Amino acid sequence: MSGKPRLTYLNGRGRMEPVRWLLAAAGVEFEEVFLETREQFEKLIKDGSLMFHQVPLVEIDGMKMVQTRAILSYIAGKYNLYGRDLKERALIDMYVEGITDLMQMILMFPFSPPEAKEKNIDSIKERATNRYFPVFEKVLKQHGQDFLVGNKFSWADVQLIEAILAVEEKIPAVLSGFPQLQAFKIKMSNMPTIKKFLQPGSPRKPPPDERYVETVFNIFKK
């Protein structure tokens, strides 16, 4: 074993992508195992590796961790990306939960039927521009700092830049009315660890395609 965290998931974004983002932002190298068949998934269950019979699975510090939120919380705490005290942690939690709600729409988009995709794009745009992005625009404007919480790089910043780029893939002009978020995007994208993760050949996964959707159904749908 190399000592690097080991990530087991499909070769695509899904619920593992925020984990990849957070590890990469922290400057942590990791290994990946990609599930391709139902048999591989069932073997993990049989071996007792999946507590609730679900992936993502992250092997780190001698643990086999499941449940995305638990994995992310552990990584954020381990690499000093979870605030200085309980109040900062609570703020980070609130921001992360909000961003996760928005990202859930992105996560499910590839699985929507063709006739619903245009409507779903409109829903993503409406939620992003009217509910979620205004919150972070206001926060950044009010405190005038580079980062969301405590003027220190945190898990919340990582989640937000991931969400901004994911929404922009579908709605390129989504930040047109958010100058603070435009500046935030530039700053975050130029942080050395994030800049490296955004380069071709990094562990960052491309937007889901039909092959990814088919693999998901083949592995998880009986």
User: Is 42 inside a domain boundary?
Assistant: yes
The least confident of 7-11, 99-103, 112-116, 171-175 is 112-116
Residues 136 and 68 in one domain: no
The pLDDT assigned to 106 comes to: 95
Residues 110 and 171 in one domain: yes
Q: What is the mean pLDDT of the chain?
A: 95
Going by the DSSP 8-state scheme, the letter that residue 199 receives in this structure is S
The pLDDT assigned to 203 comes to: 97
What's the rounded mean pLDDT across residues 18-39? 97
User: Is 1 inside a domain boundary?
Assistant: no
Number of C-beta neighbours around residue 162 at 10 A: 24
Residues 131 and 184 in one domain: yes
- Work out the pLDDT band at 221, boundaries 50, 70, 90: confident
Main-chain phi, psi angles of 63, to 5 degrees? -110, 150
SS3 9: strand
Number of domains in the chain: 2
CATH code assigned at 172? 1.20.1050.10
Prediction pTM value: 0.95
Residue 107 pLDDT exceeds 50: yes
Range of the structural domain that residue 42 is part of: 6-79+198-220
Residue 3 pLDDT exceeds 90: no
User: Is 117 inside a domain boundary?
Assistant: yes
Residues 144 and 164 in one domain: yes
User: Is 163 inside a domain boundary?
Assistant: yes
Residues 117 and 175 in one domain: yes
Q: Record the tokens describing residue 168, joined without a space.
A: 């922009």
- Work out the pLDDT band at 222, boundaries 50, 70, 90: low
Instruction: Give the pLDDT confidence of 109-161 residue by residue, as tens digits.
Output: 999 998 999 999 999 999 999 999 999 999 999 999 999 999 999 999 999 99
Contacts of 204 (CB under 8 A, 6+ apart): 17, 20, 21, 24, 197, 198
The pLDDT assigned to 2 comes to: 57
Residues 32 and 93 in one domain: no
Residue 1 pLDDT exceeds 50: no
Residues 123 and 67 in one domain: no
Sign, CA dihedral 193-198-201-207, equals positive
Residue 61 pLDDT exceeds 90: yes
User: Is 63 inside a domain boundary?
Assistant: yes
**Residue given tokens 């958010």 in the structure block:** 178
Residues 120 and 34 in one domain: no
Residues 153 and 173 in one domain: yes
